[in-house]
Amino acid sequence: MTDKDVPTLYEWAGGTEAFERLTTTFYRTVVKDDLIGPLFAHMDPDHPKYVAMWLSEVFGGPDRYTHERGGYSHMLAHHLGRAISEPQRRRWVNLLMDAADEVGLPDDPEFRAAFAGYIEWGTRLAVHNSQPGATPPPEAPVPHWGWGVAPPYQP
Ligand code: HEM
């Protein structure tokens, strides 16, 4: 198998439509959640779409978040100063994984391992970057996440 034959995580997941399904379902439960709902009380109605755009770009889809939404620095600005706690981070992760099951994202071990790897990394960075006095790099590219050590199983 050459690299050319390996689909991106974005393609494997089902593209933009799949990520939009994921984030729509996810934020529907987030806003009702006792622990993290209040953080999202004033979110833009298009927030789920923007996060789907971000995830799509991270997982190898079109770079629309960079070109249409302001890229990494715009995403970062939304987290600065929010003092996200570890219990809040964990709740965010749990609800996202529940949503992934609910909307039927691929559940093969390779996809879910890569997906969970990014989510673990990204949410831990969000906690660090959101603490009072944090000084994360103000500019950086949108990260690109791949399959890591376990490419998709394609018999
Ligand atoms: C992998 C982890 C994460 C990703 C990829 C992510 C992604 C994003 C993006 C792209 C935005 C900006 C959307 C826009 O363009 O308007 C945003 C905003 C935000 N994020 Fe995150 N985020 C992550 C983790 C978290 C966590 C763990 C929390 C808190 C528990 C959180 C809380 C927020 C809040 C409160 C906003 C602003 C919402 C508003 O518009 O009022 N994020 N996030």
| 146 belongs to a structural domain | no
Predicted TM-score of the model (pTM): 0.97
Test site for ligand 1: of 68, 79, 115, 128, most ligand atoms within 8 A of the Cβ? 79
- Asked if the structure places residue 68 within a domain, the reply is yes
In whole angstroms, what is the distance from residue 109 CA to residue 94 CA?
Answer: 17
Number of independent structural domains in the chain: 1
Q: Does residue 18 form part of some domain?
A: yes
Per-residue pLDDT of the chain (155 residues), as tens digits, is 556 689 999 999 999 999 999 999 999 999 999 999 999 999 999 999 999 999 999 999 999 999 999 999 999 999 999 999 999 999 999 999 999 999 999 999 999 999 999 999 999 999 999 999 999 999 999 999 999 999 999 98
Domain annotation covers residue 154: no
The domain that holds 38 is classified in CATH as 1.10.490.10
Structural domain contains residue 105 = yes
Q: Is residue 77 part of a domain?
A: yes
The domain of 86 spans 11-130
Of 57, 38, 66, 37, the closest CA to residue 118 belongs to: 57
Identify whether 17 is part of a domain: yes
114 lines ligand 1 (CB under 6 A): no
Q: Looking at the domain assignment, is residue 44 inside a domain?
A: yes
Query: What are the φ/ψ torsions at residue 21 (nearest 5 degrees)?
Result: -60, -45
- ipTM of model: 0.98
> 115 CB under 6 A from ligand 1?
no
Is 142's C-beta closer than 6 angstroms to any atom of ligand 1? no
